[in-house]
Each structure stands twice: as structure tokens, then as C-alpha cells.
Amino acid sequence: MSTSALPAQSAASGNQPATPRLVSRLPKVGTTIFSVMSALAAEKGAVNLGQGFPDFDCDPALVDAVAAAMRSGLNQYPLMTGVPALRQAIAAKITAMYGRSYDAGSEITITAGATQAILTAILCCVHPGDEAIVIEPAYDSYVPAIELAGGRVVTVQMDISDAGYRVPWDKVAAAVTIKTRLIVVNTPHNPTGTILRPDDLEALADIVRGTDILLLSDEVYEHMVFDGVRHESLSRHPELAQRAFIVSSFGKTYHVTGWKVGYVAAPAALTAEFRKVHQFNVFTVNTPVQHGLAAYMANPAPYLELPAFYQRKRDLFREGLKTTRFKLLPAEGTYFQCVDYSAISGMGENEFAQWLTAEIGVAVIPVSAFYQEPRDSGIVRFCFAKRDETLQAALNKLAAL
């Protein structure tokens, strides 16, 4: 028998067992830009305004609420769909803020963060051969989730102008085919900081009307919309809400990104399919944290005050950047600020981000990382969800530009 016909462990040198060959389900996925830039920031001692998470603590009352739940014995499995009190609190919040009533029992599901919610929603509705439209630049989990489901990703690029980024709905409409199963939208938008307006929702409604196309609306930054503008949740629009999985995140709202708790609101028929997948890819979510969040939500002030909280940080950061040669793009929502650096350098975005981190001492993320195909627009993204001292330290370094 030839060596090539032997089992892998017999053919290995020194008769040591060999790991069998594995064909990747995600062959294009490597180390993320976030890991690369964070590692470089740590190596160079740079101020890290790259990855999107706060460097300040959450409200101690929230920690106390979770600790109280733990001490009271709420430490075993909750219902697969989530703790009823938390689902009821979420349903009440959506009704109060957006005017749509979701049934807490059949239309709200607690998830292990927004990323799991996104993956589960895609897996439950996208079948092999289906097409899903993703609007770029896009949060990096959408495309791999569609590919894991066997779907085909169809990308549409946002338009960029002095007014910032906008969705070209005519191009989205042109991308729709008989195979289109899902359109993914994100408002407020990561990485660009733009928001959808009422006319955007109407344009989307015109596209999907009379079809079986479903919608996945990533609204994790729903409470970070600035300048007195309201968040246009798809739940506000009855026609869109009837076909939408709406995703949000307590991690973003309450400054606890490491807790990984989110939720999905969707009509009962969609939720039933969502839960079929949910019960087998995560089953359920941390019990005491759910109870703590339910108790904390009794006071709406923390999320109602969040726009003002982050708008002040945005304004502080933007004011400091005005002394540099960066061109500031609009920051209508989220805790991200995009800037055009073309007046500073002709480098590509990756090269510029690494230079800024290593030589100036401030880590950023190149917006090109949010596209599937190479696209260099000369724009990078800062995160201003940081303590004032952190922002000021970064601004002091950026003043050299």
C-alpha cells in the first residue's frame, strides 16, 4: 500500500497523529482589522480610538441589580426565549418610543448579543442559493453569516459626498432579483455614523412592497441619535415592521459590551422560525444578567439621556479635530466619527491607519475594512465612546496634524 493511501495519523512523520484536513466554511476570513489595530496600539502605547467600546464603567446600580439576582438564586436556565420580565420591559419600551406593540411572549427573543441575533436571523431565513443584499460599508458580521447560510451576498455601496454617506436606493432596487430573500440595513450606521430618515424608510418600502423579501434591521445604536433627530426604527413603519427582524443591544445602550446580551423583535411567524435556530445555536442567555436588566429598565432615564451623553462627547471631539487638517464627515448617530485625511496624506487607508497609530500615537480603523472588495476612499473611523481624558489625550497627539 502506498503512503498516500494510509490514514492521516499513520502517514505523519514520526508516527505522530496528524490533524485531518479541514475545508474552511469561511476561507476569506482572517484576523480582523480590529485585532490588528488594537495589537498595534498596545505595542506602540497609542491611544486606542479604534475598536468600538467604552473605556468607562457602567452605572453601579446595574451591577447591583445583577448581583442581587445572583444572590437571590436566579442562576439556573431561564426560558429559551428569555426571562419574561425582560421581554415585557423591551416590548413596553418599543411601544413607548416607536408606537408598535410587540407581544412579549411570541415576538421578543433575548439573544447572546447582537452578533448572535444577526447570525440566527440570517440562518433562519436565508437558504442555499438565496441572495441577500448588504449595503457597504457594513459591519463585518453580515457577510460571513450569509455565507454560512449558503446565501449569495450582493453588495451595494453607499454614496459619499460632502454631506456624508447616503444609501442609493435606486441601486438597491436594481440589485433585487427573484432570488433576493433578505436586505440588511443598519441605522444608526456603523461605521459611518449616518442615520436613516423617513424618506429612506419609504424608499425601502417601495422596494420590498409586493415581494417576499425579508429585512434585517441592525439598530444597536438606537439610543445614540443626535441634534434632536429621532431614531427611525423600522418598527415605526408598519409595512416594514411586518417583514423585519429588528436587532438591538444592551451592551451598547448600558456600556456593558462584554455582557453580550441583545434582543430581536419580529412578527410572531418570523420569531417562531428565529427561535428554532436560536434554541440550537445558543439555547438561552445568562439568567441573572437578564433579571438585572429587567429591573434596571424600570427607569427609562439611562437610555433616554444617552443621546445627550454621547452628543457632548461627539461635540468635544469634533471641536478638537477642527484644529487639524482632517475633514470631518457628519456624525448623526452612533459613537463613531469618520474623517477624510486626504489633505494630510496620500497613503492608502490601511497604511495611513498604521502610520497614525505608530507615529502619531492614535489608533483608528480604516473604513476600507468594511467593504468586501478593496475600496480606498481616504477615510478612517474614530470611536469617541471614551472618557474625556482619553479623548483629550488623543486630540493632543492629533494636534500635530
DSSP letter string, 204-215? HHHHHTTS--EE
Q: Which residues pair with 199 in a beta bridge?
A: none
Q: Which three cell numbers stand for residue 265?
A: 423583535
> Is the predicted pLDDT of residue 1 greater than 90, yes or no?
no
Calculate the alpha carbon distances from 160 to 101, 188, 338, 377 in Å: 36, 16, 12, 9
pLDDT of residue 16: 84
The class of domain 60-299 in CATH terms is: alpha beta
Shortest CA distance to 55 belongs to which of 395, 387, 396? 387
Mean pLDDT, the chain, whole residue set? 95
pLDDT at site 5 = 44
Neighbours of 370 (CB within 10 A): 19
Cell of 260: 453580550
At 15, the pLDDT band (50, 70, 90 cuts) reads confident
- Name the grid cell of 189: 450606521
Check residue 14 and give its pLDDT. 64
Q: Which option is the CATH number for 33-52+304-398: 2.60.40.650, 3.90.1150.10, 1.50.10.10, 1.10.287.70?
A: 3.90.1150.10
Confidence band, pLDDT 50/70/90 cuts, at residue 4: very low
213 grid coordinates? 423579501
Which pTM does this prediction carry?
Answer: 0.94
What proportion of the chain, given as a percentage, has pLDDT over 90? Answer: 90
Comparing CA positions, the residue from 263, 385, 289 lying closest to residue 63 is 289
CA distance 142 to 146: 6
Closest CA to 88 of 234, 352, 259, 298: 298
Task: Identify the weakest region by mean pLDDT among 18-27, 291-300, 332-341.
Answer: 18-27
Mean pLDDT of the 92-118 span:
98
Label residue 310 by pLDDT band (50, 70, 90).
very high
> How far apart, in whole angstroms, are the C-alpha atoms of residue 310 and residue 54?
11
What would the DSSP string read from start to end of 349-379? Answer: HHHHHHHIIIIISEE-EEGGGG-SS----SE
Residue boundaries of the structural domains of the chain: 33-52+304-398, 60-299
- Over residues 189-210, the pLDDT tens digits come to 999 999 999 999 999 999 999 9
C-alpha cell, 396: 493632543
Residue-wise pLDDT for 35-79, tens only, equals 888 899 999 999 999 988 999 999 999 999 999 999 999 999 999
**Secondary structure of residue 238 in the 3-state scheme:** helix
Over residues 115-128, mean pLDDT: 98
Q: Which residue has better confidence, 102 or 6?
A: 102
